[in-house]
Amino acid sequence: MTSPTERFAAARWQAVLRSRPMLTVAMVALAWIGASFFQPGFGGWRHLRYLLELAAIVGLVSIGQTLVVVAGGIDLSVGAIVTVSAIGVPLVTWLADPTGTAPALFILLCATLIGALNGLGIALLRVHPMIMTLAMATFLQGVLILIAGGSAISAQNAVLSWLGNARPGGISASVLLWLLASAIALWLLHKTPFGARLFALGTNPLATSLSGIGVRSTTIAVYAISGFTAGLAGALVLGVNGQGYVGIGDSYLLASIASVVLGGTSILGGRGTYAGTIPGAILLVTITALITMLNASAGWRNILFGTLIMALLLLSGRERQRR
Amino acid sequence: MTTSTSLLYWRIQNVRNRGLWWLFAVVAAFIALYVYLFPGLLSTGGISKFSQNWFPLALVSMAQAVLMLAGGISLSIGATVSLGGVIAATLLAGPLGVAGGSAVVLLVGAATGLASGWIVVRLGLPAIVVTLAASFIIAGWALLIMPRPGGAVPAWFSDLLAGNTPVALGLLVLVVLLWKLYLATPLGLSLYAAGENPVGAYRSGAPVDLSRIAAYGLSGLLCAAAGLFVAAQTGAGDPVIGNAFTLNSIAAAVLGGVGFLGGRGTMRGALAGSLLLSIMISVMFFLGLPPVAQYVAQGLIIVVAVALPEIAAMRRPRT
Amino acid sequence: MTQDAIVAARSISRSFFSNRVLNDVSITLRAGTIHALLGENGAGKSTLIGILSGALAPDAGDIDIDGVRHAAVRPAIARAAGIAVVQQELSLTSQLSIAENVGMGALPRRLGLIDYSALMRRAHEVCALVGLEQDLARPVGDLPLGQQQLVEIAKALFRKPRVLILDEPTSSLSAHEAANLMAVLRRLRDAGTAVLYISHRLNEVLALCEWVTVLKDGVVTADRSLGGVDAQGLVRLMVGREPGDLFPRWTPSAEPAPIIAVEGLSAGMVRDVAMTIRRGEVLGVGGLVGQGQEDLLLGLYGAIPAVAGRAEFNGVVGLPRSVPQANARGLAYVPADRKREGLHLIHSIAWNLMIPSFGRAPSLAMRRTASERERAIALADRLGIKGDLTREVQALSGGNQQKVALAKWLPSDPPVLLLNDPTRGVDVDTKREIYALLRRFAAEGRAVVLLSSDTPELVNLCDRVAVMRAGRLVRVLERTELSEEAIVSAAMESAVPGAAA
């Protein structure tokens, strides 16, 4: 019997520091420190808190996206599901409940079911994830316009307004929600057999299925989770804005994918961690804020995002040789 | 080996129609339905209007299909269409004139495609992410040129392309002929080999990398051409007008039987797919369905089209 | 004779992930000679071909082509020198026509376009030469495997090679097609082509070749004329040891009652198979390549749709409908293609060892690092997997990868092991360990089903051998009647030529 230390080389602290999540954290820190020099208000507590509130929504959507991407898929319907949730809650006010909990829970259930439907199409009908989720997004967009039309829908929902605006103890409720969700996501991904199955599935689906892992159930579950987190983010969007309209969730699709990539998760599946996506989401909103601050146009923001994703992709040479 | 040698090319072409007859039949049925609903289609004006609606979709479907055949995919189709449109609306009425401006539009499209292709192929990075990042950059560029819809296209040019003559149809025929010509070159034919069996193609000495990069260049060129046409059609540039084309191009290619894994499918299939999509939208419009119902139908149709072969395969035991 | 040398490789060495595959190998290919390259699976033949054709670069050594020295041959240099390779892995594009495939990479052109009439003429010539009588406009994907192999050979001939390298070209050809190929190769030799011929069929080698180079574990053990050598002599050159050395001594331990009994089983290629599997035995599954052996295992394992008239698995009636269900009934499966079907290459050894337990455990149970490590170490020790278990599996040698693929099943203590060619591409030492392990499993009262393409394995290791042909189980040979001849003749029995295709 050999000793554990011989068989498991201790992870060195240098390796942790050089890991991709840490690289992203360093970039966030750099951006914040740099910006504080040029713009005194930037590094202030209120402004940083505001940035984190924005990042919370992106971060919630990215939980599902990270898990799906780790499992070798991609979810292009998250933007539409955010919209479903933001528009759906006002539409189901007939679920009379002064606190607004019942409509919120009902819509979360719907979002989860939409995600599960994605998973069903991918697992049972073997539709390519990109096609299935794109088609779902198109379908939802049509349904939403039919139901809600082009105008914004306002809602008085006590629970969601509280989540969107309250700051118990000076810390935003939405950020607390994000923290809680992040802890659960990290536990799920790295500390449960379910999480391990996602990594296995994303690395080699055939070997995974021959190893006795239920590929179908895992696929359906991971897309359902993605639907749920996108729905949660949508509810938060409604809470912050007080109203929903068709298209309100669109920007979260690319933001979620960008956060996942910025966080170092392999877009090809099988490698990655939500611990990278968290700073990835913060980096994303920070850059957006910087550009707004510099009064640069939306065009420059897009170019910067694109260049950043491309640059990080080039830096992580790991992606090479795997197609 | 029964027929003479010079016919080989045509017989190969004929074999490629195999498996597409059902699609051609469905397209024909929809055309018949459309003509029944709207007899005006059979006039010059009707054909002109219809082909003008179809033309940009046909171009982006070809742009997507050429990449999917080469084993890639592009999420920057829509952004490139928008970029082509805003450059056209900026330059065509300027000192470069229509000819010079159009040339710049096409060159820019090809260059963006080649750049993405070079990164994907030479640096070995996944096409989905590279083209996603490229779509941000290209869309940003379009927004820099034209933050909001505007610009102008000379009226005679709009009339020429989008007037009451079926010029668009003629242009499409020209594009298809050029594509056939390209496929008849060693570089063009290598596209199939590079997409389906890159290792084998490389061992055979086929120009794998070059043909894949060229595919990205062609794809960008076609997108920019679609943008140019859309600008002429609307008489102005719009930095986000192309967005819907990314999804639609994938949908049309998939409807036309082009596979995700490379080397599977044909350009004629992708074109038929785009025609089907275009007609369905028109038919739904004439049936009095609200325009947005097409989204609902489109989502359903795509999933069904992709899932059908799988459902059929489930009934057979694996071999 | 040296002045005829077209390609001369000297002192070639090459490693993959610190696993040395070729060690100081030299080989000379001469004009007008058919040269045999022999060796067991995993001896390094494919790597050597890769280096000669420019697909791989050697770590050390150099190669002379027509007297010009190269440290590494690039594919373009090899093509320019007229080196053409027919690999086992086809280089064809299924959607393109036969003619286009034959010409791919060397298409005749006129004004920049492909000259289809010249292509037709020349493709027709080479296809007629190899005996492929097909409409050249047909897509290659329509052809059966044997004819695709002919297209691959025609493709090599299309380039009018001076050096032709063929890797197992007859593996999926009918007897008639193979004989035709032999005649073509002789004609090429007489015209001055250098041919390097790799085959497991020793009688082909003896009938065709003049010179032989034998590789064993990456080292050249013989480089000599074939004059005066017989089949036994060839085997001795390749194996270099008595077979008794490789296989463990064992006594039958089979229990009379079956743990698995099926009747009328059909799955994939498999038609109407009745068989029993007993605890304590090693049941061999043999036959020519691709007669439905793999589908038999996958059907039993619930991995492909299967139907059976009657089935009983470990006391449960009916076939398992899915892999998890098969696992629950005590079945485990080790695939032949470890890299694609068995392992998660980019993850650590320890993680790979835990995968089946991730499938079994409740989805949201807490994983415990310490106990996972303990279990991984115990498994690694049991199978002799050495070193740091946090290494990625792709860095291991084929033998160690196979051990990981096998070891991961042991925690669930499966009473039935389905093994698909477990020694393919594995070094000799690991083979010996695996053989001993299989008999130990049987002695512990497990049922082991061993699908193998290696006939000596079946003869020396198995209690019984089930021989398959065209999807049917044609014979079950008991231990008393087991011999290589018995297995081969059962596999070929009244075989229709071309049935393999």
Average pLDDT, chain C: 86
Domain boundary among C195, C225, C242: C242
Please report whether residue C373 resides in a domain.
Answer: no
The token pair at C117 is 């009439």
In this predicted structure, what is the pLDDT of residue A12? 66
DSSP-derived pairing of the beta strands C113-114 and C163-167: unpaired
Please report whether residue B121 resides in a domain.
Answer: yes
With a cut of 60, say whether residue C360 has pLDDT above it: yes
The amino acid present at A248, given as its one-letter code, is I
The amino acid present at C322, given as its one-letter code, is S
Contact A138 B306 (CB under 8 A): no
Contact B140 A143 (CB under 8 A): no
Pair (C184, C219) in one structural domain: yes
In this predicted structure, what is the pLDDT of residue B317? 40
The token pair at B296 is 């609902």
CA A252 – CA A268 distance, rounded (Å): 20
CA-to-CA separations, B185 to B17, B95, B268, C110, C160, in angstroms, rounded? 20, 37, 18, 9, 22
Greatest Cα pair distance in chain C: 76
SS3 C34: strand
DSSP-derived pairing of the beta strands C83-86 and C163-167: parallel
Distance from CA of C229 to the nearest CA of B (A): 35
Domains of chain A: 42-312 (1.10.3470)
CA-derived radius of gyration, chain A: 20
pLDDT digits (tens, 9 = 90+) for A123-149: 988 888 887 898 898 889 888 888 887
State the DSSP code for C263. E
Strands (E), C210-362: 211-216, 219-225, 258-267, 270-278, 282-286, 306-307, 310-313, 316-317, 331-334
Q: Which residues in chain C are closer than 8 Å to A204, comparing Cβ atoms?
A: 340, 343-345
Contact A264, A318 (CB under 8 A): no
Q: Which residues in chain C are closer than 8 Å to B259, comparing Cβ atoms?
A: none
Please report whether residue B10 resides in a domain.
Answer: no
Please report whether residue C367 resides in a domain.
Answer: no
Q: Which residue of A has its CA nearest to C329?
A: A212
Helix intervals (H) in C34-158? 45-52, 75-80, 98-103, 116-130, 145-158
Residue with the larger pLDDT of the pair C226 and A11: C226
CA C371 – CA C267 distance, rounded (Å): 39
Contact C62, C69 (CB under 8 A): yes
CA C109 – CA B184 distance, rounded (Å): 10
How many of the other CB atoms lie within 10 Å of CB of C479?
Answer: 13
Please report whether residue C343 resides in a domain.
Answer: no
Please report whether residue B13 resides in a domain.
Answer: no
Beta bridge partners of C22: C14
DSSP-derived pairing of the beta strands C194-198 and C163-167: parallel
- The alpha carbon of residue C88 and the mean position of all alpha carbons in its chain are separated, in whole angstroms, by 9
Per-residue confidence at C353, pLDDT binned at 50, 70, 90? very high
For testing the chain C interface, which of B8, B181, B267 should be mutated: the one with the most C CBs within 10 Å?
A: B8
Rounded to the nearest 5 percent, the helix, strand and coil shares of chain A are 75, 0, 25
Distance from CA of B263 to the nearest CA of A (A): 15
Contact C29, C212 (CB under 8 A): no
In this predicted structure, what is the pLDDT of residue B319? 33
In this predicted structure, what is the pLDDT of residue A2? 53
Q: Count how many domains chain C has.
A: 2
CA-to-CA separations, A162 to A109, A111, A238, A248, in angstroms, rounded? 20, 21, 11, 20
Q: What sign has the CA pseudo-torsion A45, A51, A54, A60?
A: negative
Q: What sign has the CA pseudo-torsion A122, A125, A131, A134?
A: negative
Pair (C235, C280) in one structural domain: no
Ramachandran angles phi, psi of C206, nearest 5°: -65, -35
Q: Count how many domains chain B has.
A: 1
CA A235 – CA C209 distance, rounded (Å): 76
- Between positions 157 and 216 of B, the ones with CB within 8 A of A are none
CA B58 – CA B81 distance, rounded (Å): 13
pLDDT digits (tens, 9 = 90+) for A176-190: 999 999 999 999 999
> What residues make up the domain containing B163?
19-306
| B85 shares contact with chain C (CB less than 8 Å) | no
Please report whether residue B314 resides in a domain.
Answer: no
Q: B138: burial class by Cβ within 10 Å (0-12, 13-18, 19+)?
A: buried
| B47 shares contact with chain C (CB less than 8 Å) | no
Q: C94: burial class by Cβ within 10 Å (0-12, 13-18, 19+)?
A: middle
b/e per residue, C145-177, with b = 16+ CB within 10 A?
A: ebbbbbbbbbbbbbbebbbbbbbbbbbbbbeeb
Domain boundary among C172, C207, C242: C242
Helix (H) or strand (E) holding C210: none
Contact C285, C465 (CB under 8 A): yes
Contact A226, A65 (CB under 8 A): yes
Pair (C256, C236) in one structural domain: no
Helical pair A215-241 and A173-191, crossing angle rounded to 10 deg = 170
For testing the chain A interface, which of C297, C344, C345 should be mutated: the one with the most A CBs within 10 Å?
A: C344
User: Residue A11: left (phi > 0), alpha (psi -120 to 50), or beta?
Assistant: beta
In this predicted structure, what is the pLDDT of residue C394? 86
Contact A220, A120 (CB under 8 A): yes
SS3 C189: helix
Pair (C303, C230) in one structural domain: no
Pair (C179, C315) in one structural domain: no
Q: What sign has the CA pseudo-torsion A30, A33, A39, A43?
A: positive
Pair (C135, C265) in one structural domain: no
What is the arithmetic mean of pLDDT over C301-311? 92
Pair (C264, C126) in one structural domain: no
∠ CA A206-B262-C392, rounded to 5°: 40
- Per-residue model confidence as pLDDT tens for chain B (319 residues): 444 555 888 888 888 887 788 889 889 998 898 888 888 888 888 888 889 989 999 999 999 999 999 998 898 999 999 999 999 999 998 888 899 999 999 999 999 999 999 999 988 888 888 898 899 899 999 999 998 898 888 989 998 988 888 899 999 999 999 999 999 999 999 999 999 988 889 888 889 999 999 999 999 999 999 999 999 999 888 988 888 888 788 888 888 888 877 778 889 999 999 999 888 878 877 777 776 777 787 778 777 776 776 666 555 443 3
Per-residue confidence at C239, pLDDT binned at 50, 70, 90? low
Helix (H) or strand (E) holding C20: strand C19-30
- Between positions 90 and 149 of B, the ones with CB within 8 A of A are 119, 123-126, 128-130, 132-145, 147
The token pair at A238 is 């409604």
State the DSSP code for C495. P
Pick C361's closest partner by Cβ from A1, A193, A207.
A193
Contact C484, C455 (CB under 8 A): yes
The token pair at B151 is 């610009």
Of B176, B187, B169, which is closest to residue B268 (Cα–Cα)? B176
Contact C37, C51 (CB under 8 A): no
Please report whether residue C34 resides in a domain.
Answer: yes
SS3 C103: helix
Pair (C433, C469) in one structural domain: yes
Of C321, C304, C356, C332, which is closest to residue C447 (Cα–Cα)? C332
Pair (C212, C323) in one structural domain: no
pLDDT digits (tens, 9 = 90+) for C181-204: 888 899 889 988 999 998 877 778
Domain boundary among C192, C220, C242: C242
SS3 B19: coil
In this predicted structure, what is the pLDDT of residue B3? 45
Please report whether residue B275 resides in a domain.
Answer: yes
Q: Which residue of B has its CA nearest to A122?
A: B307
Please report whether residue C268 resides in a domain.
Answer: yes
Contact A75, A65 (CB under 8 A): yes
Please report whether residue C426 resides in a domain.
Answer: yes
Please report whether residue B14 resides in a domain.
Answer: no
Please report whether residue C407 resides in a domain.
Answer: no
Q: Which residues in chain C are closer than 8 Å to A206, comparing Cβ atoms?
A: 340-341
The token pair at A212 is 């006795």
What's the CATH code of the domain at C303? 3.40.50.300
In this predicted structure, what is the pLDDT of residue C225? 85
Please report whether residue B311 resides in a domain.
Answer: no
SS3 B211: helix
Specify the residue for token string 């991709």: A20
CA A153 – CA B287 distance, rounded (Å): 29
Please report whether residue B124 resides in a domain.
Answer: yes
CA C84 – CA C64 distance, rounded (Å): 16
State the DSSP code for B38. -
> What residues make up the domain containing C305?
245-330+414-492
Ramachandran angles phi, psi of C62, nearest 5°: -140, 165
The token pair at B165 is 């003559």
In this predicted structure, what is the pLDDT of residue C500? 38
In this predicted structure, what is the pLDDT of residue B222? 97
Pair (C230, C91) in one structural domain: yes
Pick B139's closest partner by Cβ from A74, A302, A307.
A302
In this predicted structure, what is the pLDDT of residue B272? 93
Pair (C152, C249) in one structural domain: no
With a cut of 80, say whether residue C124 has pLDDT above it: yes
With a cut of 90, say whether residue C244 has pLDDT above it: no
CA C323 – CA C325 distance, rounded (Å): 5
Pair (C219, C305) in one structural domain: no
How many of the other CB atoms lie within 10 Å of CB of C100?
Answer: 26
Q: Which residues of chain A have pLDDT under 70?
A: 1-5, 10-14, 17, 94-95, 316-323
CA C401 – CA C394 distance, rounded (Å): 8
Please report whether residue C336 resides in a domain.
Answer: no
Of C437, C407, C248, C386, which is closest to residue C342 (Cα–Cα)? C407
For testing the chain A interface, which of B137, B199, B308 should be mutated: the one with the most A CBs within 10 Å?
A: B137
| C100 shares contact with chain B (CB less than 8 Å) | yes
